[in-house]
């Protein structure tokens, strides 16, 4: 196994050609994407070259739909596909396109400046600790499409002033809204 193909920080494999688990390295792009194995879809797995405070995730990448926000995608301190550390604690808002169905575990963990997140009606699951530590997040609007909210999903969101949980939610993990 070549060094370029070794797993990196939960991001799959880098530099392995058309490997289904390869991360598509951005050149001047603001986000990293990974093709989902056995599907004609992509997931967002991290930040590329971006300095914007407001992140808008595109509905498509290379002509295919973006359907997931991967585990740890915007985690406060991450190692990107190039092996460099980056911080995401400056991000203030994220717009997720219609068509995304899941928000992964720790996806926005410790994004402490995040004040606004727009979750579309296509999302059905919010992973464990997805927004944990987003201490500036003031309001959460969970769409009617969501059926599960993972453990500690909104733990430590100390600025929350309101939340509405729709009837469609059938599973809420422990400590989902603690702190």
Looking up tokens 């400590």 gives 175
The tokens describing 61, both together, are 């990448």
How many Å is the Cα radius of gyration of the chain? 16
Q: Are 98 and 58 in contact (CB under 8 A)?
A: no
Contacting residues for 138 by C-beta, under 8 A, at least 6 apart = 115, 116, 159, 160, 161
**Model confidence pLDDT, tens digit, residues 116-144:** 998 999 999 999 999 999 999 998 889 99
Distance CA 49, CA 26 (A): 8
Beta-ladder partners of 7:
13
pLDDT digits (tens, 9 = 90+) for 47-80: 877 667 889 999 999 999 999 999 999 885 555 5
Give the mean model confidence (pLDDT) for residues 16-45: 73
Distance in angstroms (rounded) separating the CA atoms of residues 87 and 3 = 25
Residue 12 pLDDT class (50, 70, 90 cuts): very low
Alpha-carbon span 26 to 23, nearest angstrom:
9
Overall average pLDDT of the 79-101 stretch: 77
- 86 Ramachandran zone, left/alpha/beta (phi>0; psi -120 to 50): beta
Provide the pLDDT for residue 78: 52
Q: Which position has the higher pLDDT, 33 or 47?
A: 33
Name the band, by pLDDT with cuts 50, 70 and 90, for residue 85.
low
Handedness of CA 110, 112, 114, 115 (dihedral sign): positive
Strands 116-118 and 93-95, sheet pairing: parallel
The chain-wide mean pLDDT, for the chain, equals: 82
Q: Look up residue 165 and give its two tokens.
A: 């949980």
Positive or negative: CA dihedral 72, 74, 78, 82:
positive
């Amino acid at each position: 196994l070549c060094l370029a193909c070794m797993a990196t920080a939960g991001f799959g494999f880098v530099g392995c050609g058309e490997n289904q688990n390869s991360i598509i390295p951005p050149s001047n792009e603001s986000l990293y994407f990974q093709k989902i194995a056995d599907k004609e879809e992509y997931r967002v797995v991290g930040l590329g070259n971006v300095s914007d405070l407001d992140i808008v995730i595109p509905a498509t990448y290379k002509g295919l739909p973006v359907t997931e926000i991967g585990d740890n995608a915007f985690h406060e301190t991450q190692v990107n596909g190039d092996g460099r550390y980056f911080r995401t604690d400056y991000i203030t808002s994220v717009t997720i396109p219609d068509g995304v169905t899941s928000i992964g575990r720790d996806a926005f963990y410790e994004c402490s400046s995040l004040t606004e997140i727009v979750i579309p009606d296509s999302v059905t699951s919010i992973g464990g600790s997805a927004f944990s530590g987003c201490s500036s997040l003031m309001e959460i609007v969970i769409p009617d499409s969501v059926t599960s909210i993972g453990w500690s999903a909104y733990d430590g969101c100390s600025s929350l002033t309101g939340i509405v949980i729709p009837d469609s939610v059938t599973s809420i993990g422990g400590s989902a809204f603690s702190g």
